[in-house]
A and B are shown apart, each in its own frame.
Chain A
Amino acid sequence: MLRYQGSRVFGGYAIAPALVLQRAVKEASRAHIDDAEAECARFRAAREKAAKELADLRERTLKEMDDELARIFDVHHSMLFDADFEESVLDIIHAERVNAEYAVLVTGERYADEFASMDNAYMQARAADIADISNRVIRILRGETETHLLETTSPVILVAKDLTPSEIVRLDTAHVLAIVTRYGSLNSHAAILAGSKGIPMVIGVDYDDDIDGKTCIVDAYGALLIVGPDDATLGEYKEKKEKDEENTSLLLALKGKDNITKDGHRIDIFCNIGGEKDVADAIKNDAGGIGLFRSEYLYLRSADYPSEEEQFQAYKTVAQRMEGKKVVIRTLDIGADKRVDYFSLRPEHNPALGYRAVRICLDRPEILKVQLRAILRASAFGNIDVMYPMITSIWEVQQLKNIFEDVKSDLSDEHIAFSDKVAQGVMIETPAAVLISELLAQEVDFFSIGTNDLTQYLLASDRQNPMLERFFDPHHPAVLKAIRMVTENAHRYRKRVGICGELAADTLLTEYFLSLHVDELSVTPSRVLAVRDAVRKTDLSK
């Protein structure tokens, strides 16, 4: 059994034999010609035929997907008829007395190289579009018709070096259960089209060519290709696949519906995300907003403090993609089990009770200021709030608020835009925060109860210690009572209260949370609809 890691384009599971696409290598060979004019005419005729093919692809995309995606082939059409592209082809034919196939190949490669070398991932991905159109013209010049990519009558996992946008559109989704490619980009039109066709796809997988015909599992959520799985793995993934399909049918039935009980109580169901990569899942599962955007990944993935600009881009992307829906960004929660070398933190005997999160930020406000600047700048592009983790005392909150005000006035002085509606909230995850929640409610705009840490601290049970499993009881009366206290104290001061952490998705407790009038449950994307289902089945009047 072999595992290969890649990057996810579109999530899903598939179990089927691999079919490795073998493209006959057809180099456009250089040939001398005598009649340059006739060769130019051949090019123009081939281009007309290519335009017809593109019109058919456009039509098909429009019918199966939508107009926005169909416009990808308008772009191909414009590239094909671009004056510079044409001039280059005709110049090469005349100057070098070569065949049109070769002139198109050279021109296509030149533009593809130009795009591939740009410092912008969007533009780099356009190299694949250029390659798609020049291959199309070269094929037509050879007198070949567009063949089907694969002839198969049984389900397969399609494995290829790369696929073009037009190949994706023409794929037979009844038989291609998933796509795995070695190259490609998340920004490519091929990736966008595969996602829109709903085909699980993983790119950047360095597979071995001998996997052809072998049984494979694609776990596109985890961006994983498993070749030749053993029985246990196969069983595990069959179950995952079944659950995923169940969730998909739930999704179809519950998408767009309100989170409302039978007797009319409403609650918001938001998502927890760990990066831009999770936003698509949140949207797909109909999240009402992002209740917890963990920002640690920006710090964990880099070798030095992430810049304001890098953070700004990440926050802005998420805010824009959520289109005005609430996005709550939690400031860095580094320390404890999330350690980063460049923070130069000393080893600790008891990291869970240690130097982490705002405790670091209050000592080194310059780190937090960079993050708050990025968050505030991004607030001009969407509906952003900020949330501080690991709070135990009022003075911490007051100092954090002062830092926040400093950053705002710096930005104003620099004439940098930000929203003045950014609310500040705190995580309630320590027993101290629960016990002073009445005071905290007067200091901040909202609470979010982090049940994982709260349970561990209330019950004095390390949640990563398997020996403590039966002592680590998230349904313990102390935990439930703490949630009640916090909610009542927040509401006394008309502040919003949410629950993030695994308990929020626990449908055994949905009715309890509703009865407390908790305002929001923030859950992992795949649980949104299950929780919605539980809400809609609840009747508090009974």
Chain B
Amino acid sequence: MSEMGRIIRGGERVALSHYSLDAEQWEAMLAAPGATLSLLSCWADEHRVYVLLLEGDCPLIASTTMEERRYLAPSSRFPAAEWGERVAYDLWGVEAMSASGDGQPALDEGVWEATWPLSSRPGPGGQAARPVAGRTVLPAEKSGLTGPLELSFDVVRGKVQGVSVNAGLAHRGVLHRMIGLTPEESLPLVSRMTAGGFVAHPLAFCRAVAQARGLQPGPGVRDCWMILLEIERMSVHLFDMARTARSVDAGLLATHCEHAREAIASACAEQGISRRLTDLVRCDGFRVGLEIVPLAQAVVSAMQPRMAQLRELQSVFAPRLKGLAVLSPAQAREFAVGGLVGRASGRSLDVRRREAGMRLDALRSTGSSEGDGAARDALRLTEIRDSLALIQRILGSIGMDDDEPAPEATQEGIGVAEGARGDIWYWVRLRNGKIDAVQARDPSVSLLSVLPAVLQGETPERLPAALRSLALSPSGVAM
């Protein structure tokens, strides 16, 4: 156990993996000697600040109370915490002391009805910020992403430098809307968190709810969830490959990816479910009437014949993505970038490997350390291959019991799902059966912190291709 982990466990245990620290313990955690645990998420409300960390492959939450609406900033130790601190200030007006960032607004650009809208003492709305004169702006509608995200930067000798990211345009206040609802009532909102995770987001949420309630989904439900997640992974990877290919004039590869994705969608529709798998995951399992075996067989039949040609085309066009938006292994480690982007940059984190009942022999992709657009695209295709193998392995032993024990019911739970774009985490706290507090972490958040470094040195013309290759989702960042 690391020194940081030991300090956290010295706090009061309030749930399965959640420790409440006093001010001294919090400070000691941030100054702990030795290795720094990976930070997955940082958030705060008016009363407490939380960090969700990863120790090995196990989640660990530490929290402490606010003192006069201020707290010692986790970003003083975990650079990636800076986004969460700025979000907390915009929503609640709580201040992070000794924060590492520039303190710029994360979500509130001065156009909301109120300042600190979730605070018990909200102020009047602000004034829209004006762009800094002399800087080049890549407006949201030209970023190349499917959601609004704006970049501003300097151009020095034709290269991008000093990138600032405005990622708050897509903020909808979804998490706040869930408070006071039952988990079942809030599922439609969770299911529309971001389109790259129509399955993965509700799945992570339902796992968190199950843990809070002290329930363990049965092997049939578990395997159905796994299959749905793999179908979504293939569909989203194909979408991201097609979009990236279009931006480097690799239209033929894009065409085949688009056709393959539509074939998956058609296979789903023919089985009587939504083309993009919306509203299938439920807290107690899955939508009534879903026939998972014929669905899985139809999707495998649609995808399998296309794989050889997709691999050929991907290798033909790969040189166009060489050196695009390089995320170094050191950056991936420092900012705890997980998911496909992290795995293409030398990290090995894939939370599927820790899931009960996982058919580990199907997950054969080994990642890369190149960290560029070509490495990400190659890995996407390899992961599609693995998804097909995993689905077939599950079909061979569907519902296989593994005697996983149910957790203790503490009314608080953490759930995770390895979505197509990375690990999605939910933390929920229930009170009288309703959501008392909730936090979600989309993989795009960890990309956000490292984005300026990754885009540094690109030409302005290549920025849309770079953003598409990273598959950053503004709706997942801003929520």
A and B are interacting partners:
no
Chain B residues with a Cβ under 8 A of chain A: none
